[in-house]
Amino acid sequence: MIRLILIALSVVALTGTAANANPRIKDIADVEGVRDNQLVGYGLVVGLDGTGDTLRNSAFTRQALNSMLERFDINVREADLRTGNVAAVIVTAELPPFSMQGTRMDVTISALGDADSLQGGVLIATPLMAANGDVYAVAQGSLAVGGFAAEGDAASVTRGVPTNGRIANGAVIERELDWDLASQSQIRLALRNPDFTTARRMAQTINAYLGDGAASAENPSTVSLTRPGAFSGDMVSLIAEVEQLRVETDMRARVVIDESTGTIVMGENVRVSTVAIAQGGLTITVSESPVASQAQAFAPGGETVVLPRTDVQVSEDMADLGVLEGSVTLRELVDGLNALGISPRDMITILQTIKAAGALQAEIEVL
């Protein structure tokens, strides 16, 4: 009896381990409307040590500088400005979802003109706009630049990108995005990797937890979630409970190849039909060993000439014909290819050739 109990506990432990190995809904899907928003602005960085834009080459910097000074009742449009301490920049930021007015966020600053470095610069107040033209934040502050550049009369050195900087908590949010999520009765969950099977399994998992009718798969990338009438909490509480549920995901058989680095990544569902593979290399070596030919002693009109001598050798590496049996798994496929002693780049060619022969039951994606 004791032995049977131990076996049962082992089965439960294995089942629990397998279930915990599945990802959470939180990690494979996004909630509709809960996302970042891109903001962008055009501004000026001042206080540079002569490493800013050349005003005669950057008309937009000179115009922006004139406009800024005019706001302080300083008119210099007719003056010949030659300062090198100002740079025109583009300011970008990500507005987090449900950000409140008065909270702060990080901003990234990138030089727009011919500035050499933004080290030591200060960004003056720059409005940050969304795609619709509305201002949602204002950025200002001292830049933190990771790169640097130094040069002398005969040498120079550059580390990182000195024309790109960042200001931690450098923008103040001035406008909120109005959306009352808590009062919603229905939302949609968007799968990050669309798949029919995963969408159906997600809906089934949610219905098993909340009851039938709470969720339905609309398409491979969308699952609709409706707040049940018997649920006592609001939509925020419902999402908090649903996103902790674990779902067994599925994916298409795919082989991803990066030819520049020779990297190959294959999914576990990749299968290969019966196919024979032979891989060998053909090497042709051409060597030149010219020789000098001299005339005999005291020969009239004799001269020394150089005669060409070319040696061509052809060698071919012999390879056995390897056979991969039908419907082999990923592990068997990798073991079979490794047994041939081929390099990653040769393996890329073999996989593409197997696909062309119709024996690779997977999609090949070349980066």
Q: Which residue has the tokens 């201002």?
A: 135
pLDDT tens, residue by residue, 20-78: 578 999 999 999 888 889 999 999 999 998 888 888 888 888 888 888 888 888 887 77
Rounded to the nearest 5 degrees, what angle is found at the Cα of 26, between the Cα atoms of 22 and 32? 140
pLDDT tier at 2, thresholds 50, 70, 90? very low
Give a yes or no: residue 345 inside a domain: yes
pLDDT of residue 179 exceeding 50, the answer is yes
- Mean pLDDT taken over the chain: 79
Report yes or no on 207 lying in a domain: yes
Average pLDDT rounded to a whole number, residues 196-220:
92
Q: Looking at the domain assignment, is residue 143 inside a domain?
A: yes
Q: Each residue of 105-122: pLDDT tens digit? A: 999 999 998 888 898 899
As a whole number, mean pLDDT of residues 198-225 equals 92
Is residue 327 predicted with pLDDT exceeding 70? no
% of the chain exceeding 90 in pLDDT: 31
| Residues β-bridged to residue 125 | none
Q: 349 versus 13: which is more confidently predicted?
A: 349
pLDDT of residue 267: 75
Residue 283 reports pLDDT greater than 60: no
- By the 10 Å C-beta count (0-12 exposed, 13-18 middle, 19+ buried), 95 is classed as buried
Indicate whether 48 and 163 sit together in one domain. Answer: yes
| Same-domain status, 277 and 222 | no
pLDDT grade, residue 279 (50/70/90)? low
Evaluate whether residue 248 is within a structural domain: no
pLDDT band, residue 313 (cuts 50/70/90): low
Cα distance between residue 144 and residue 156, in whole Å: 22
The helix/strand/coil state of 276 is strand
CB within 8 Å of 128: residues ≥ 6 apart: 39, 40, 41, 91, 93, 107, 135, 136, 137, 138, 139, 171
Same domain, 225 and 320: no
The answer to whether position 208 is within a domain reads yes
In this predicted structure, the answer to whether residue 17 has a pLDDT above a threshold of 60 is no
295 pLDDT band, cuts 50/70/90, is low
What would the pLDDT profile of 235-273 be if each residue is shown by its tens digit?
Answer: 999 999 999 999 998 888 888 888 777 777 877 777 777
Q: What are phi and psi of 168, to 5 degrees?
A: -70, 130
Establish if 26 belongs to a structural domain: no
Number of domains in the chain: 3
Greatest Cα-to-Cα distance within the chain, rounded to the nearest angstrom: 119
- Residues 115 and 150 placed together within one structural domain of the fold: yes
Same domain for 117 and 42, yes or no, is: yes
- Do 267 and 207 reside in the same domain of the chain? no
What strand order describes the sheet that includes 222-226? 29-31, 186-191, 222-226, 215-219
| Among 195, 214, 193, CA closest to 205 | 214
What's the confidence (pLDDT) of residue 11?
A: 37
**According to the model, what pLDDT value does residue 141 have?**
93
What is the reported pLDDT for 134? Answer: 92
306: pLDDT strictly greater than 80: no
Task: Indicate if the pLDDT at residue 99 is higher than 80.
Answer: yes
For residues 306 and 293, give the distance between their C-alpha atoms in angstroms, rounded to a whole number: 6
Indicate whether 282 and 362 sit together in one domain.
yes
**pLDDT value of position 184:** 86
CA dihedral 141, 146, 152, 155 (to 10 degrees): -150
- Using CB atoms within 10 Å of the CB of residue 355, give its burial: 0 to 12 exposed, 13 to 18 middle, 19+ buried: middle
Identify the pLDDT of residue 146.
81
What is the domain range of residue 200? 180-242
